[in-house]
Amino acid sequence: MTEIKNICVYCGSSPGDNPVYAAAARALGTALARAGIGLVFGGGSCGLMGVVARAVLAEGGEARGIIPGFLDEREVALTGLTKLEIVPDMHIRKQRMFEAADAFVALPGGIGTLEELAEQLTWIQLGRHAKPLVIADI
C-alpha cells in the first residue's frame, strides 16, 4: 500500500442540523494535521468543509482547496489555505481532488457529497483505483 500523504474529505457545505457533525469534522481535521497528513477538500469556507479545513490549519497542517469559480461566489473560498486552486467546473474539481489524494473520507453532507462518494465507489468497483475510502458514520 502506498503511503498516505493527503486525504480528500468529502462533506457538506452546510454544518447540518446536529452539532456532532461539526465536532467530528473538527476532530478529523485535528487528527490529520497531527499525523502530518494534508487535507484536500472542496475549498469552501462554509459548513463542514470550513470546519475541517480550519481545524487542519489551526494545528499547523496543510489544507488544499479546489473550488470551481462559480462556487467561489456562493461558498466563498476559505482564505489562508496552503494552496487554493480555482478550476472551471465540477468535473475538473473532482478530477483534481482525486489526483491530489491518496485516500478518501466521507463525512455527512448532501447531494454533492453523495455524488462524489458514489463516483469513488464506482471507480473502486470497476478497478480504476485502489485508494482507501472511509465512510464515517457519525
In contact, 66 and 100? CB cutoff 8 Å: yes
Minimal CA–CA distance to 68: which of 95, 47, 99? 95
pLDDT higher than 80, residue 13: yes
Per-residue pLDDT band for 66 (boundaries 50, 70, 90) equals very high
Whether residue 1 has pLDDT greater than 80:
no
CA distances from 67 to 78, 85, 89, 90, 91 (A): 10, 6, 8, 8, 11
Name the pLDDT band for 95 (thresholds 50, 70, 90).
Answer: very high
Would you state the pLDDT for residue 2? Answer: 79
Are residues 119 and 90 in contact, defined by beta-carbon separation less than 8 angstroms? Answer: no
Residues 6+ apart with CB under 8 A from 7: 32, 37, 38, 39, 40, 101, 102, 103, 104, 105
CA nearest to 94, candidates 130, 61, 119: 119
123-135: pLDDT as tens digits: 999 999 999 999 9
Report pLDDT for 74: 81
Written as nine digits, the cell of 138 is 457519525
Three-state secondary structure call for residue 36: coil
User: What tens digit of pLDDT does each residue of 28-57 get?
Assistant: 999 999 999 999 999 999 999 999 999 999
Q: How far apart are CA 102 and CA 119, in angstroms?
A: 16
